[in-house]
Amino acid sequence: MRNAPTILHLDMDAFFASVEQASKPSLRGKAVVVGGLGPRGVVATASYEARVFGVHSAMPMAQARRLAPNAAYLVPRFGLYRSISEQVMALLRALSPLVEPLSLDEAFVDLEAGGAARDGDSARLAGEKLRADIRAVTGLTGSVGLAASKMLAKIASEQAKPDGLVLIEPGTERGLLGPMTVRTLPGVGPATGDHLRRAGITTVGELAEAGEDELVRLLGKAHGHALYAMALAHDERPVVAEREAKSVSVEDTYDVDIHDRLRVGLEVQRLADRCVGRLRGAGLSGRTIVLKVRRYDFSTLTRSETLRGPTDDAAVVREAAARLLDSVDTTGGVRLLGVGVSGLADYTQEDLFAQAAGEPAPTAQEAVPEPVAEQQPPAERRWPAGHDVRHAELGHGWVQGSGLGRVTVRFETPGSEPGRVRTFRVDDPALEPADPLPLAAVAAVSGLHGGVAGAGSGTE
């Protein structure tokens, strides 16, 4: 372990909820809950104002609604979150070549590797500058932990929440960790915590006192050795630069189990198209098609097929996914479906049609007919709560809610005052889905995240 606090851990404050508050003036300082809004939805992020009522991430959305019935409940806008995350990660990479993202809103940085810090004072300056830069670029806040190891830097950032910076001086780690609960350490979940509690071990200090042999007896060799080292504040894990994605996938959970085999097939085709859209957006192709099916009894099956070469062709992925579905019994009902592509590459196999049809690839002289699309009745437009819309006369707004053939919209933008609310028919031709607007940097100086108006982490 190094002798200077030059490992930084950044955790954006309630990332998803903070983005929604920054983009919606009427929600600033209000309880905001982001997640799946269906009967089986779960909370992705809750603002601090919502946490006052006991709402937290991974909680069933139905329970959250009972605890905070007056909160704003919004469907995630992952495209916007990713774009803001890219801005934040660019600031981190300006500090060091060694940046290890853990999620959209969280990352480790080796400040020493980039020459951004060499001791406690320079590390603190780098951390404070990073927080100021994030606020200036995005209008959001992040909490920073600085320490001599990854484990301690993450603990420090948790202590810094919200919107703060905590530096753990080398040499003080044992005293800091001693009184903390064993659940503070990585790898100690509810089951391990209960097992240790039954053995009379509830704090990190008691872990260290128990000794390595006792922890190995209680938890097994690998886990026991690792926990004893962490209890002594030993953590030699390096910051590892961002790895390339190993797969691209999409999945949907359904509010009501799907029993109709035809509907299941159509959903798989739709997911395949979405997955290919992500592949192409990243400039990738892949060789292995993966189908995921979670059935009515929560049993989860995966099936995969490896092609002769990488592809980004929607027809190829759809056909492979359909073949995989043929091997799965869905008669009892399906609650989740997913399609993924792995074995990624940045090129595409030439004989895509051969893969799809099992025939030689067409030559340059052969014309490949375009499939004739069947005429389908237009699908009813969906208006997810929190998503962006534009009205031909009233301009930009966001969906507050919809149902019974009506959609309610609040017309405001990130830089405006709280806007007025109007209700329309769901098929109103003047109302269209819209792309999110950029966050207004003025939010950073308007007190949006002063005090507790931010909130924990996007995924916590």
Q: Which residues are catalytic?
A: 106
Non-local (6+) Cβ contacts of 140 within 8 A are: 12, 13, 15, 18, 19, 22, 84, 134, 439, 443, 444, 449, 454
CA dihedral sign, ordered 174, 177, 178, 183: negative
Closest by Cα among 109, 75, 74, 72 to 90: 109
State the Cα–Cα distance between residues 135 and 16, nearest whole angstrom. Answer: 15
Give CA torsion, residues 64, 74, 23, 433, to 10 deg.
180
State the Cα–Cα distance between residues 39 and 403, nearest whole angstrom. Answer: 15
State the Cα–Cα distance between residues 164 and 210, nearest whole angstrom. Answer: 34
Largest Cα separation within the chain, whole Å, is 78
Please check whether residue 22 is in contact with residue 47, taking contact to mean a CB–CB distance below 8 angstroms. Answer: no
Structure token pair of residue 118:
């060499």
255 sits in which H/E element = strand 247-258
Cα first-last separation, the chain: 26
What number of H helices and E strands is found in the chain?
14, 17
DSSP 3-state assignment of 341? strand
Enter the DSSP assignment of 460: -
Full DSSP string of 90-148: HHHHHH-S-EEEEETTEEEEETTTTTS-SSHHHHHHHHHHHHHHHHHHHS--EEEEEES
State the Cα–Cα distance between residues 432 and 82, nearest whole angstrom. Answer: 23
Non-local (6+) Cβ contacts of 55 within 8 A are: 31, 33, 43, 46, 64, 67, 68, 71
